[in-house]
Amino acid sequence: MICAAVFDMDGILFDTERLYGEAWKKTAGLLGYQMDDRLFLSCVGRNARDTKLTVLKAMGEDFPYDDFYARTDTWVRSYIADYGPPEKPGAREILQFLSDRNIPAGLATSTGSDDAKGMLEMAGFLRFFKACVFGNEAARGKPFPDIFLLARDRLIQAAGFDIPADAIIVFEDSPPGLQAASDAGMKPVFIKDLIDPPREILDRVWRSVPSFYDALSSDFWA
């Protein structure tokens, strides 16, 4: 029986991956660089530290990453300030579904705490989470399982009872996130956003569903 759920944020609760992808391409062009879309996709699901290392390896050590990151971040923040974080289909409904049934929900996102909390508060989602872990808190980023193991510890503390790892569903869209959830001993659920994971990753998921609407039934959680 499922006892809890853990959510990634970007690409799962919010359709922000596309915003960042657009911002990466525009910002790189303004700085005089061409950036392959595949580079952005290879960074989806990774924390800020690992993303920087990946970009510098691909673009070269002379690439002005800090300026690039600051401009990209400013563009995305401005968009979200004007229009709000774009919600993924069924995100609000699944969080309310869990709350109504007293199934504790946790967040495990590679996004830093300030940005993530800001978006969650704007959407009114923060109140649904019993525990949150942000990208700057885990010792190692996805695909390592650290962030999910820490989320489980915090959920147990908040709930006041033990929650076995294999009784936790993890909603993820990225290959690193799905691998991390599987290695944490949890049940990864794949909801596609931008990336089709390789077969060796898909073989490790518990279920694949088109959207959260497919999880809005008691049978899914039995």
Q: Do residues 78 and 162 both lie within one domain?
A: no
Residues in the chain: 222
Pairing of strands 207-208, 4-7: unpaired
Q: Residue 93: is it exposed, middle or buried by C-beta count within 10 angstroms (0-12/13-18/19+)?
A: middle
Q: Do residues 109 and 208 both lie within one domain?
A: yes
Say which CATH number the domain at 122 has: 3.40.50.1000
In the chain, how many domains are there?
2
pLDDT at 205: 98
| Buried b / exposed e along 178-217 (16+ C-beta atoms within 10 A) | bbbbbbbebbbbbbebebebeeebeeebbeebeebeebee
Q: Do residues 206 and 146 both lie within one domain?
A: yes
pLDDT at 46: 86
Over residues 164-170, mean pLDDT: 98
Q: Do residues 59 and 128 both lie within one domain?
A: no
pLDDT at 100: 96
CA distance 81 to 93: 23
pLDDT at 83: 93
The domain boundary residue, chosen from 83, 106, 141 = 83
Whether the predicted pLDDT of 31 surpasses 90: yes
Instruction: Please state, rounded to an integer, the average pLDDT across all residues of the chain.
Output: 94
Q: What is the pLDDT of residues 102-161, one digit of tens each?
A: 999 999 999 989 889 999 999 999 999 999 999 889 889 999 999 999 999 999 999 999
Q: Do residues 53 and 39 both lie within one domain?
A: yes
Q: Do residues 152 and 210 both lie within one domain?
A: yes
Q: What is the pLDDT of residues 67-76, one digit of tens each?
A: 999 999 999 9
The domain boundary residue, chosen from 58, 83, 108 = 83
Domain range for 130: 4-15+86-221
Q: Do residues 118 and 47 both lie within one domain?
A: no
Q: Do residues 214 and 130 both lie within one domain?
A: yes
DSSP-derived secondary structure letter, 164: -
Percentage of the residues of the chain whose pLDDT score is greater than 70: 100
The domain boundary residue, chosen from 83, 100, 124 = 83
CA distances from 97 to 92, 167, 212 (A): 9, 17, 10
Q: Do residues 54 and 92 both lie within one domain?
A: no
Number of CB atoms found within 10 A of residue 151's CB:
29
CA distances from 41 to 20, 25, 98 (A): 10, 12, 30
**Residue 163 is encoded by which pair of tokens?**
């929650």
Q: How confident is the model at residue 1 (pLDDT cuts 50, 70, 90)?
A: confident
pLDDT at 42: 92
